[in-house]
Every structure is written in C-alpha cells, then in structure tokens.
Structure 1
Amino acid sequence: MVKTELRVIYGDTDQMGVVYYANYLRYFEAGRNEFIRAKGLRYRDFEASYRLRLPVAEVGVSYKLPARYDDLVAVETSLVEARRASARFGYRLVRGDDLLATGFTVHACIDLEGRVQRLPRELLDRLSSGEALSGAVSKE
C-alpha cells in the first residue's frame, strides 16, 4: 500500500463546499500515479519503454463521508489483482481516522493501436513487490 496526501482545493468542491463526486476519481488517479512511482516507475516511462497503455476499463466508488474544502486527505492505493492483460487497483480515501470513500479501477493493457496485450512480467513483478494480492498474479 502506498499513501498519498492531498489537500482539497476549492475548485474540487460544489456549492456546499463538499468534494464533487467525480473528483474522487482524480484522487484515485493521483494515488495510482504515486503508487507506480513508489515502485520505481513513472507512467510516462512505462508508456515509452513498452509502447503500451493502461486505460481504465471499469471503476467503482463507495462514498462514506464527505471530503470538504481544505481537508488534508490521503489516498491509500494497492494493487489488488493482476491478470494476463489487466490490473485492478484498490483505494481508500481517508481524513485522519475517518474513512471517506473506497473504490477500485480496472485497467486493460493495450498497445498503441488499441489491441489487448499481455502485461509485461517485469511490470507485474515491480508493481506487486511488497504487495499482498487478494488474487494471485495470473500468468494466463
């Protein structure tokens, strides 16, 4: 798990000062980027080296408590599952001891022409280092 701290900016909130629901996905993205960076990679380097992309194929969010303007929040990001051509990340958004939201994203692995490709073994090894996956990393 990698923890990423963020400060809620005014532009992320609605008229009531509560974070607009879709902005939680931006927080998840920030957490995922820092997760990948903590594993010794930068997403742009992955794209350039492997000539692959990891677009979001599925997403889910469960909202527990509202995040508000100027809150210091943390996104806890983990690689939950890796399959032959996809990876699932899990997220917890917290403010101190309060759980604000949980969620996940599933990413397909595609080449530059949009064709599904196998996730490179080196990438899987790096991303799963130090992680306890709920499902084993599948070689299929």
Structure 2
Amino acid sequence: MAQEWHQHQMRVQYKDTDQMGVVHHGNYITWFEVARTEWMRHFDMSYHAIEEEGLLLPVLDVNAVYKSSARFDDLVVLFTRIEQYSPIRLVFEYEARRITEEDWKANGLNHATADEPYGELLTTGKTTHMWVNKAWKPVKLRKTHPELYEKIQRIAD
C-alpha cells in the first residue's frame, strides 16, 4: 500500500496576504513547517519529545513550486508525507491545495490522512533535513535512536 498523506486543514488569514491580495510566497514555507510539525505529532513523534532526547532536525534545503495563488479566507489543506529517508536524512514532500466548504466538512478533523491529495493544487514543495545532536554533529538515527528509525521506516514504506 502506498504511503498515506497526512492532511492539515486551515483557513488563509488576512495577515498572510500581500498588497496584491494573495498569500505571500514566503508563507508557504511557514505552512510547510506547520504541516511537518502536525505530521510528526500525528505519528507520535513530536518535535518537543525528539529534542528532549537530544536530537535536532534542521532544514538543509527547501523548495517550493507555485502553481496558483491562495487568497484571504480560502480553505486550504496541507498534505505531507515522507519522500525519502536514511539513517541521517529525511525529506518531506508537501502539497498545498484549495478546497471547498464541502471538502472541509467531509474531510475535516475526523480524517487525519488521505490516500491522495484533493482540491485545487496551489503549491508543491520539499524540505530536506539532517538528524544532528545538540552539538550540531550528524547522527545516524539507526544507531542512536533505533526505535525512532524503525517508526519512520514503518510509516514511509
């Protein structure tokens, strides 16, 4: 079975728009971070708990491809899943999509995952991360935190 997408629904806030009335491009990067944090929380891997274990997961690279613009008060769903992983790196992929009120109600809080993204594609993106310790030295997760690595394997495969 293909990996499911985690979904996080939101409504575009006025503060996120620019003078042209559309969501400022930089906000999608913030949305990716929100989506990634919620993905981790859903799979019982909160950033807070991971950091308490001495692990950090900084961003090495971020990419966004803009297809269409979101506007104030649009309903948006952020889809997130793992694209690649290794004992040292983790790559997430994202899709931000505009949805209707009907989609909002039908696929809301009772549905944390979806087989496939739905709605109008706004933006796709990827973030690449590296596991490091608190001294910012690379960590091989399979050796230092095998339970966490096994959990990622189960989710991603």
Aligned-pair Cα RMSD in Å: 1.2
The whole-number CA distance in structure 2 between the counterparts of 1:131 and 1:22 is: 28
Deviation string, structure 1 residues 82-134 (Cα, Å, up to 9, x no partner): 112110000010112200010000011111111111123322322343434xx
Structure 2 counterpart of 1:131: 156
Deviation at 1:46, TM superposition (A): 0.8
- Aligned: 1:74 with 2:77: yes
1:53 to 51, 56, 61: 56
Structure with the largest fraction of helix? 2
Structure 2 counterpart of 1:24: 28
Query: Contact (CA 8 Å) 2:80, 2:95: kept in 1 or not?
Result: yes
Query: Contact (CA 8 Å) 1:85, 1:117: kept in 2 or not?
Result: yes
Aligned partner letter, 1:46: I
TM-score, scaled to structure 1: 0.88
Structure 1 counterpart of 2:121: 99
- Aligned: 1:111 with 2:133: yes
Aligned partner letter, 1:131: A
The whole-number CA distance in structure 2 between the counterparts of 1:127 and 1:7 is: 29
TM-score, scaled to structure 2: 0.79
Query: Contact (CA 8 Å) 2:57, 2:131: kept in 1 or not?
Result: yes
Query: Contact (CA 8 Å) 1:39, 1:127: kept in 2 or not?
Result: no
How many pairs align? 131
Percent identity for Structure 1 against Structure 2: 35
Between the two structures, name the one with larger relative contact order (CA 8 Å, sep ≥ 6).
Answer: 2
Gaps of at least 5 residues in structure 1 are 133-140
Gaps of at least 5 residues in structure 2 are 100-118
